[in-house]
Every structure is written in structure tokens, then in C-alpha cells.
Structure 1
Amino acid sequence: MTALEALLVLVTGFGAGVLSSTVGVASLLSFPVLVALGLPPVVANVSNTLGMIPAGLGGVVGYREEVREGGRLSVVIVVVCAGGAVIGAALLLGLPPGVFEAIVPFLILFTCLLVGVQPRIAAWLRARHERQHGEQLAERRHMSPATTFFATVTGVYGGYFGAGAGVMMVAVLGLGTDLELRVVNGLKTLSLMVGNIVAGLIFVVVADPRWDVAAVLAAGSLVGGYVGARIGRKLPDAVFRWAVVAAGIVAALLLF
């Protein structure tokens, strides 16, 4: 890398780190920049995964209070996303490039819709439960089997490519639990960190990353991840929700 390219990667890492800890679409900034610098797509994806690990670490430190509030749910997120990332990394290395290109934009748009309408869906489900059972629906602080399944699927996607995985996890946890959005955001950041760590460890063994690019990207993403978490913790729920929707729509349009 030239000095100018290194500076570009460093700034990109910072920006991607901020996005990772807020709206969860970091790869849509960092991955295209690495490809534009001349890296083959798979090498860019592998290097990007490694470079974004510190973003997750910085983000989780910034969201440490929210992760603690998650309690046992935080442990479940770590387990299911780690398992999903193993499968996703294997798919990336074993399948022909572009297998899921056709469906990913639609998947992201669908999850954007879920994030946007989640409060209305939750209110409708509660009202329906009260009509049928004559009692209030208990607050959901744990993941049901269905929520656990979809969180695992999100982990698989995160290990495979990951663009928009944060949006998907917000949708899954927002619909499947009654956690505050700031806690959901913290758990989303935790899930992205776990996915990147697991997939990154696999890539180190079986792939050929550009270590210089990954290292510079990591330096920027570490700071960006922490800064993004401090921003995300202060965002009002409505602002955060629609920022996630907007970021997801942009992600889908770029992928189209």
C-alpha cells in the first residue's frame, strides 16, 4: 500500500467501526473500498472480516452496560452466532462466488420492514394475547426457540458475507424479545463481534488475507467501534430505529 492508500483504509476503518456499533452496516463501507484498491473480492472479504474484529471489541466495550443487562441472553447470542459463523465461513469458502447475490437485497429490505413496523407488531401481539387469555403477556427477556433459530441464521449470514447482518439481528431481537432498543443494539454489536472473530479465525487458517490492509483497517475500526457505541447509546429509540431502516435500504440498493 502507498501512504495515501493506507490513510484511506485507516479512515475507512474508523467510519466502518462507527457504522458497526450504530446501524450495523459496516461492510457496505469497508468492503467496496478494499475492492476499489484492487483486492480480489474473496481476499477483500477475508481481510475486511479480520479488520473489523477490533470494531466489535471497541463497540462491546462501549456497550458493556447493555451487554451486562442482557444477562443470559448475551451468552446465548455468543453461542448461536459463533456456531452460525462457522457455517457461514464454510459456505463462503466452499460455494461459487455470488450464490446468494440475488436474494440478499430482498432479505435486507424485508428485515428493514420488520425493524420499522416492530412496535406495531409487538402492540398487536400483546393486544391479541390479552383478548384471548384475559391477561397481560409477560415481558420476554429470553429468546424463544424460533428467535434462537433466526438469530443462528443471522449468524450464518454474518459469517458468509455480513452486509446488513446488524440490521437483521436488530429485527430478530426486536421482534423476539421485549428488550430496550439500546440493549438490542448492544447485543447486535456483540453478535457482529463474535461472528467476525470466529470467521476470522477460520480465514486465518484456510484463506490468504492481506495482512497489511487488515492491520490498518483494524486500527481505525477499533476507535470507530468505541465512538459508535457512545453515539448509539444516546440515540432516541425512534431515531435509532429509522437510522437502521435507512441504512438497510441503502445497503439493499447498493447490493442490487
Structure 2
Amino acid sequence: MIVAGAESRPGSAAPNEDLLLVADAWALVLDGITRYPDDGCVHDVPWYTAALAETVAVHMSGPPRPLAEVLTAAIEAVNARHAPTCDLANPVTPGATAALVRSRGEALDWLVLGDCAITWRDRDGKCRTETDDRLDRLADPPRGPGRYPVEYIAQVRNRDNGYWVAAADPGAAAMAYTGTAEGVADLLLCTDGLTRLVERYGRTWPDLMALAADRGAGALLDLVREEERNDGAPARKRHDDATAVLLRFADHPFASL
């Protein structure tokens, strides 16, 4: 597994709440959930994403285990670090969405929880994308500007028929979408600050994979910022933290790009 590019940029002057981490045989991106007031925690969102990434790294270095189990153990470990000072039962306790991959010879394990995304091309150039759109499929969300009220979040976050994120409930990891792929040529992990290129601006994943392979992960971040600046009717958040990690595999036909 070759890291062909990895970059993260904040969406504003506020600290970047995205995080990426890459090792020899695995990689992850995390997208910290923008903080609500009165979340019961003395830590900020970057603390949470850093703590979660660190504990994922610890558990990935041990004996191989399913990625959902790795994420479960990581959530439990972070809980132990801040339960003495924080109210982990608070419905908006800090959390993150996640995308995680691990290479095992010819196989590639993947996990997505929340609205991060993983896209890969096989050796024939065919593109496949995995993401978790349950937040967008809520049955009857509140209407109007701004974020969902805390009372609504308490009903749908990490609940059946709602949506799932990595926060204080280790059981959320079992609800992640997971799988194994073979014959992967190259692969892109990204947070939803980048997936808006497809969801909002009409780009396609094959086009984005080709752009990243040709000009690097940073070109994708340049593109999303350009689209955002030219957006005449932006959503409530014009710019979001955006992260991309491009991985290649040495024996694939795009390795020389």
C-alpha cells in the first residue's frame, strides 16, 4: 500500500475537526461532528478525533480482528479516558464519522460509519463507492435553517431507524457498513467536506479518482473550494473541513501515474 497523497484543510479559521492517519497497512479519516452547546464534555472535538485515532492505531497494531471490533475497542478506550470528567450519556457528546481501510495481502477490508466515503478502482478501472447516507434518509427531520435541535438528535443519533456515528456508544461500531474488496488498484478516503463535489456539485467519483491520480489529493481540495466560492446559493455551511487520502497498490495498472 503506497500513500500517493494525503491532505486535510479546515473550512474556516476554526480548528480543523477532520483528521487523517496512515500506517503501512491501514489508513483512516475521521470527521469530527461540530460541537453543540452544553454537550456535557470538557474536551473539544479535535481532542475527541485525536483520541479516537490514537486508540484505533493501538488496536490495529495488535492481532488482526474485524474492523468493527477495532472501532468498538477504540470507542471504549476513549470513553475510559474521559468518563470521569464528562457526561457520556449526553445525546450530543462529542463524536465523529469514520472511514477505515486495512490491507491484507490481496484483500482490502473497509469500514464506513457516518457520511465519510471510500472509493476505489479495480484493475480494470471500474469504480465503486461506499458511504453511509442514513443521516440523509431520516424519515421526518425538522425543517428550517440551522442544525437539528438536541431533542431530535436524542431520538435519532445512534438509534434504530436513525443514524450512527462513533461517540460514546461502542455498539455503534457494529452498525458500520463493512466489507472486503480484492483486486483494488487505487483508493480514496474522504470526509463529507469533499463528498459534496458529487452530492452538491455534480462531479462523478470516476472523474475525481482520475483527477486525484493525475494531480494528487490536494487537487480535489482545490476543486471543492473553487466550487464553493462559485456557489450562488450555498447551504448553511459554505465551506467545511475537507480531507482526502489517496492510496495506491504497487502492482496495479495506475501505479506509474
TM-score by length of 1: 0.29
In proportion to residue count, which structure has more helix? Answer: 1
TM-score by length of 2: 0.29
Relative contact order: is structure 1 or structure 2 higher (C-alpha 8 Å, sep ≥ 6)? Answer: 1
In proportion to residue count, which structure has more strand? Answer: 2
